[in-house]
Amino acid sequence: MLRGTMKLHETSIGGEYMTVGEKLRDLRMQNAKKRAEVAKAVAITESALANYENDIRIPRDEIKVRLARYYNTSVESIFFAM
C-alpha cells in the first residue's frame, strides 16, 4: 500500500487507521468472546467471521447489521469512516 492511501475498508479513528477486520476483532476481544460464539450468535460460519476479521471479505449488508446489533453499536462505527 502506498503511503497516504487507504484500503477501501480502512477508516481513521483519532488519526489512527483501523481496517474493518481490526475493528471486528477488537470488538470481539473487548467483549471477551470467542469467534465461535459471535459466529453462532449472528448466524454465520466461524470461517466467514475469520474472513471478515482478516480483511479477506466484507460482509453483506444484512450481516453488517447483525454484527452491529450484536456488539450494540452502529453499522457506521464499524464499517464507515466517522
Instruction: Show the domain range for 24.
Output: 20-79
Distance, in Å, from the CA atom of 40 to the CA atom of 37, rounded to the nearest integer, reads 5
Asked if the structure places residue 40 within a domain, the reply is yes
Asked if the structure places residue 35 within a domain, the reply is yes
What distance lies between CA 33 and its chain's CA centroid?
A: 14
Cα angle, residue 78 at apex, residues 77 and 81 outer, rounded to 5°: 60
Q: Does residue 11 surpass a pLDDT of 70?
A: no
Cα angle, residue 68 at apex, residues 29 and 58 outer, rounded to 5°: 85
Distance, in Å, from the CA atom of 19 to the CA atom of 3, rounded to the nearest integer, reads 15
Asked if the structure places residue 39 within a domain, the reply is yes
Instruction: Find the CATH number of the domain harbouring 67.
Output: 1.10.260.40
Q: Which of the four pLDDT bands, split at 50, 70 and 90, describes residue 17?
A: confident
| Residue 42 CA: distances (Å) to CA of 9, 13, 18, 68, 69 | 21, 25, 22, 10, 9
Asked if the structure places residue 52 within a domain, the reply is yes
Structurally, the chain folds into a number of domains equal to 1
Give the global pTM: 0.79
Q: Which of the four pLDDT bands, split at 50, 70 and 90, describes residue 15?
A: low
